[in-house]
Amino acid sequence: MREIEYRDALNEAFDEELARDENVVIMGEEVAQYNGAYKVTKGLWEKWGDKRVVDTPISEAGFIGMGIGASMLGIRPVMELMFWSFHSVAFDQLVNNAACVRYMSGGLINVPIVMRGPANGGTNVGATHCHTPEGLFAAFPGLKVCSPATPSDAKGLMKAAIRDNDPVYVMENTLLYGNKGHVPDPSEGDHVVPLGKADIKREGSDISLIAHGRSVLHCLEAAETLQSEHGINAEVVDLRSIRPLDQEAIIKSVKKTNRAVLVDESKPFCGVSAQITTLIQEHAFDYLDAPIKRVCTIDAPAIYSKHIEDEQLPNARRIIEKVLTIA
Amino acid sequence: MSQEKYFVMETFNNPSVSPLDFASSPINRALTAEQKIEYYRQMSRIRRFEQGSLKQYNMGKMGGFLHLYIGQESIAVGCASLMGEHDHMITAYRCHAHALAVGMNMNECMAELFGKTTGCSKGKGGSMHFFAPDKNFWGGHGIVAGQTPLGLGLGYGLKYNGQKGSALCFMGDGAVNQGAFHESLNIAGLFNIPVVYIIENNGYSMGTSQKRSSAYKDCLAQRADGYDIDWDLVNGEDFYELRAKVNIAMERAHEQSRPTVLEIQTYRYYGHSVADANHKKYRSPEEIEDYKKNHDPINLWKQRLISEGILTEESAKEIDRSAKQETDASVVFADESPAPTIEDVTDDVYWESDNNTEASKIGRHFFND
C-alpha cells in the first residue's frame, strides 16, 4: 500500500489537474521558483513552466482579484495563500468578488477558483498567523470550504475543488504537511473525494466526536484512550467539507450514539461547531442523552508561547476530559 | 511629461485656448457620418435613460443608490466605440452608461433598477451591478477600486488565451487611493498585462475634491510612472481626442501587451449618488452651471457634428425625442414586469446547484429551515 506525505498528495493533485485541464494555473507567492514556502508545489514550475505555475508579488488583493477576473474568462486559478491568515488583506476580493459576482449578475458569471493554504495554530507564530477562517468563509453563501485531515482526503478534495465550477477555499495545515498516509496509486484511477461528504474515520457506538482538519487526528487519539482506559467506544466523524456539509452523516452518527462532542480548532463563538450544534438540536434533539459539548480553541487570540499553545488548541487530553463529563 | 500632456492640462477648463484637433487622427478619420451620428444617439440615450431613472427613483420605484453618469457620457460611448471582439470592459458602481454603450438594452437596465426579474441581473444586482458577459461587459462593481484587480484578471485571461485584446477597467478619481489599485498596477507592469486603467476624473470622490483627497504632482495618472506604465491625460469633453488616446492605449495592449493608465477629465452634474444632498455645498452652483453650459460633452459633440454638416438641430432633436420615448417605454416595461419571488432568492448562488450537477447533490449547500 502506497504511503505518501500530505504535501506530496496535494502536489500530485496539482500535477494531475495541470495535465488534465490546460486552463488550470497555480499561482501564489513563492509557489514556482522557490518550490512553495511549504514545498507543496515542489517541482511543478520546473515541469510545467512559467505559464502554468506563476510566482506573484506579495499582493494578495491584487493577485487573488486577478485570478477571480481571469476565472470569469474560463481560466481556473489555484491560488495559494502562504497562510490563510493573510486572507484579511484580500478580504474584499474573497467575499465580494468571488462570492457575490455570480449572484449579482443573476447567474451570468461563475468563478471557478481554488484558494488554498494552511490555516492552523500550533506552530508558535503568534496571533496574526494562526487564524482558522473555515467558519468565517463558510458563512458566505457562494463559497465552498473544505479542510482535509489526511493525505488521501487532501488529494481527493483538492481535485474535486479544482474541478468544481464555484469558488472553493481549501484549508490545509502546516502540521499535517509532513504526515504520511495511504493515497491510492494514480494507476488505480482518478482519486477524487467529493465536497459535501463526511467520512467515518472510526466506527463507534457510545459517543460521536465530530471534527475537521487536524482535530480529527486528536479525536482518533482520544478515542483510543477512551476505549482502553474508560471503555467508551467513540465514533469519529471527519466532516472533510464544511460547506457543503454532510448533515446526514452527522445526524446519523448522533442518532446512533446519542451523545456528541464537537471538536473544532476555530474559536467557539459562531465557529463551525456552533453551526453543527444547532443542526443536531434541530434534527436529533430527541435522540440526545446529554447536552452537546464542544472542544474549541480557548477563546483568545493565539498565544505565542510554545509552553502553552498546545493547551489553547484542542488536543486529545481536552477531548477526553470533555467526553468524560457526559459519557 | 510630454508637451502634449501639459497642453491638455492647460486647455482643460480654459475655453479661450483651442484644443489640439484630434479629428484628423486615423481612428477618427475612418469614421463615417453614420457612425458619428450613432455616437451622438448613444450619448443621448444614456442621458435620457438616466434622467428617466432619476424621475422614477424620486417616485419611489426603486431602492438603494443611484449613481448618475450625467455629464460624463462621452467617455463610455467613446471607449465602447473602439471595442472589438477581444476587448472587454469593467467598471465601478456608476455603470449604467457603460452597460448601454456596450449594447445592453434600456428595458433590462430599467427593470434591474426596479428590482424586477426581467432585469439584467434578475433584480439581484441593482443599479451598481449590471453585467453582460456576452457583450464583454463584466460589471458594475460596488466597492471602490474592488474591480481594479478583476480588470487585471480579464487582461491576464486574454493574454493566457493568446487573444489580441484589452481590458478597459474604469474607475473614479477616488479609487486611485485604494491599495488594490496600486497592487494591480504593479502586477500589470510586472506581468505585461493588456489592461487599460481609465480614471474618470470628475473632480470629486463623493464630497471630497481631488485636492483634498489625493497627493499628486501634476495629475493622478502620473502615478503610473512609478510602475513604469505609460499614461496620458485626456480631455473627456473632446470626443475625438478621447477616441484617439484610448485607441493608442488599446493598441499598446493589443500589439505590445502593455498596460496604460489614462486619466480622463470630466464632470458629473449630479451628486455622488442621488442621496448626496450636499453636492451643491462642496462645489458651487456656478461651477456646475459652467460645466453644463460650456463643457457638456453631448452638446459639444452635437455642435461639432453640426459644424461638420452631418447633423442639424432638428435631426438632433429627433434623436433626443426618440431616446426619451425609448426611456419611457422601458419604464412601462419595468413597471409591468414581475418582481422576484422568495423561491428566486436562493438561485444563482452556486453554479453547480443552478445546473443541478452531481456535485450539487452531495451535502447541504444552504442552511435555511
Q: Which of A78, A105, A146, A282 to mutate to test the interface with B (most CBs of B within 10 A)?
A: A105
A97 contacts on B by Cβ (under 8 Å): 141, 146-147, 149-150
Which part of chain A is CATH 3.40.50.970?
A: 3-188
A219-243: per-residue pLDDT in tens?
999 999 999 999 999 999 999 999 9
Instruction: Read off the pLDDT band of B275 (50, 70, 90).
Output: confident
Overall number of domains in chain B: 1
Which part of chain A is CATH 3.40.50.920?
A: 199-326
Contact B311, B305 (CB under 8 A): yes
**Assigned domain for B258 exists:** yes
Query: With an 8 Å Cβ cutoff, is A272 touching chain B?
Result: no
Q: Which of B147, B161, B349 sits opposite A141 (nearest CB)?
A: B349
Range of the domain at B242: 3-338
CATH number attached to the domain at A3-188: 3.40.50.970
Specify the pLDDT at position A274: 97
DSSP state of A85: G
**Assigned domain for B348 exists:** no
**Assigned domain for B71 exists:** yes
Specify the pLDDT at position B18: 53
Specify the pLDDT at position B121: 98
Say which CATH number the domain at B269 has.
3.40.50.970
**Catalytic residue of the set A12, A60, A80, A172:** A60
> Region A113-141: what's the mean pLDDT?
97
Contact B225, B238 (CB under 8 A): no
**Assigned domain for B363 exists:** no
Whole-model pTM: value is 0.96
**Assigned domain for B366 exists:** no
B251-273: per-residue pLDDT in tens?
999 999 999 999 999 999 999 99
Asked whether residue B30 carries a pLDDT value surpassing 90, the answer given is: yes
Amino acid at the residue B267: Y
The secondary element (H helix, E strand) that includes residue A160 is helix A151-163
Using alpha carbons, select from B147, B226, B160 the residue that is nearest to residue B193. Answer: B160
In chain A, positions 117-156, which contact chain B (CB-CB < 8 Å)?
141-142, 144
**Assigned domain for B149 exists:** yes
Asked whether residue B7 carries a pLDDT value surpassing 70, the answer given is: no
A130-189: per-residue pLDDT in tens?
999 999 999 999 999 999 999 999 999 999 999 999 999 999 999 999 999 999 999 999
Specify the pLDDT at position A253: 98
**Assigned domain for B346 exists:** no
**Would you call B34 helix, strand, or coil by DSSP?**
helix
Asked whether residue B250 carries a pLDDT value surpassing 90, the answer given is: yes
CATH second-level architecture of A199-326?
3-Layer(aba) Sandwich (3.40)
**Assigned domain for B368 exists:** no
Specify the pLDDT at position B369: 83
Residue B32 burial (CB count, 10 A): 9
DSSP state of B19: P
Asked whether residue B200 carries a pLDDT value surpassing 70, the answer given is: yes
Instruction: Read off the pLDDT band of B19 (50, 70, 90).
Output: low
Cα torsion B241, B242, B245, B247: sign: negative
Instruction: Read off the pLDDT band of B20 (50, 70, 90).
Output: low
B141 contacts on A by Cβ (under 8 Å): 97
Mean pLDDT of chain B: 94
